[in-house]
Amino acid sequence: MPRDQAEPVRKGPRESITLDTAEAMRLLGSVSFGRIVFTQHALPTVRPVNHVLDGGDIVIRTHEGAALTSRTRQANGPGVVVAYQADAIDPDTHLGWSVVVTGYANLVTDPGQRARYQKLLRPWVGRAPDYTVRIRPDLVAGTRLAPTDT
């Protein structure tokens, strides 16, 4: 039956449960898609990307001309401050989880690491990414949306 003609799913009360860092990172590693948030011309910018976790770091790939590539190339000090968000929330029940990581992004320049990430992280779009960006988490916040017992 088409979704718009189906019986509506009853959406009971929910509770928001704060996740510890280990569980939040485990959940983040269970999906391959998220959103990176950074500033461009002093305004927040969001880009959907696929990722892989490696040793607690989030790794994405990008291409020449991408705003994030330019920002990380110009970075001084620890890198560019970014946020990374991923989730898995059921559209019918509204149950699931969301994780937001704030940290520093840098270009991966070591040729061996870049080659390794090229094998681990395949692009979802036709344009081949030229660059690899590593995000080192500083703050990790996770929330699980669960049904209440009442």
Structural domain 36-147, CATH architecture: Roll (2.30)
Residue 51: which residues within 8 A CB-CB, separation 6 or more? Answer: 32, 33, 34, 58, 59, 60, 84, 86, 121
Residue 53 has phi, psi (to 5 degrees) of -95, 140
Cα angle: 139, vertex 133, 61; to 5 degrees: 125
Instruction: Give which of 150, 121, 149, 119 is closest to 135, Cα–Cα.
Output: 121
Q: What is the pTM of this model?
A: 0.85
Domain ranges of the chain: 36-147
Sequential pLDDT tens for the chain (150 residues): 444 555 555 567 889 999 999 999 999 999 999 999 998 888 899 999 999 999 999 999 887 767 777 777 776 677 889 999 999 999 988 899 999 999 999 999 899 999 899 888 877 776 667 889 999 999 999 999 998 875
Q: What is the pLDDT of residue 49?
A: 92
Residue 134 has phi, psi (to 5 degrees) of -110, 130
Q: What is the pLDDT of residue 4?
A: 53
Q: What is the pLDDT of residue 69?
A: 74
Q: What is the pLDDT of residue 1?
A: 41
Residue 56: which residues within 8 A CB-CB, separation 6 or more? Answer: 25, 137
